[in-house]
Amino acid sequence: MENWTTTPFDPWAGLTGGIFIGLAVVLLLLTLGRIAGISGISAGAMMKRGFEQHWRLAFLAGIILSAILYILFAGGFPVQTQVGSGWMIIAGLMVGFGTRLGSGCTSGHGVAGISRLSRRSVVATLIFMGAAVITTNLIRHL
């Protein structure tokens, strides 16, 4: 079997990232009463106006800024893929289409929805994860 990635396993980085994601979800819910679903926040940033647009743009800017700060202080992301930019663009568009079709993404359903014990989010997350497992196995074995 081919080695599809050379990303090293770092449990502390994953734990730290998970804690920050959880804090962002809780803070957004407590301060604005909003669910931290990135696809919904992104769509609203393009379609809403006034305060609704401003907090969404600030949230997205925070995501981008955190990645920049990580690169500056930790030295980058050591991920290498086996596919080219074209496939990555197609995959991104398919994910974007899927999040609109599924009324949310893994952050909205998988993090914020499951933590609120939403049945709909549990089902959506099981479908996301099942599709990911099937897709990964198909691609790796074709």
Number of other CB atoms surrounding residue 28 within 10 Å: 18
Q: Say what the pLDDT of residue 84 is.
A: 80
The domain total for the chain is: 1
Q: Kindly give, in sequence order, each residue whose CB lies less than 8 Å from that of residue 80, ignoring residues fewer than 6 positions away.
A: 5, 6, 7
Q: Is residue 21 part of a domain?
A: yes
DSSP at 102: T
Read off the pLDDT of residues 61-114 as tens digits, 9 standing for 90 and up: 999 998 889 888 887 776 677 778 888 889 888 888 888 777 777 778 888 888
Q: What is the spatial distance between Cα 139 and Cα 83, in angstroms, rounded to a whole number?
A: 11
Q: What is the spatial distance between Cα 142 and Cα 126, in angstroms, rounded to a whole number?
A: 24
Q: Is residue 77 part of a domain?
A: yes
Distances (CA, A) of 114 to 7, 91, 138: 28, 25, 28
Q: What is the spatial distance between Cα 15 and Cα 22, in angstroms, rounded to a whole number?
A: 10
Q: Is residue 5 part of a domain?
A: no
Q: Is residue 2 part of a domain?
A: no
Which percentage of the chain shows pLDDT scores above 90? 25
Mean pLDDT, the chain, whole residue set? 85
Among 120, 95, 97, which residue's Cα sits nearest to residue 110?
120
Read off the pLDDT of residues 11-60 as tens digits, 9 standing for 90 and up: 888 898 889 888 998 999 999 999 888 888 988 999 999 999 999 999 99
Residue 98 lies in domain = 11-141
DSSP at 103: T
Q: What is the spatial distance between Cα 87 and Cα 79, in angstroms, rounded to a whole number?
A: 16
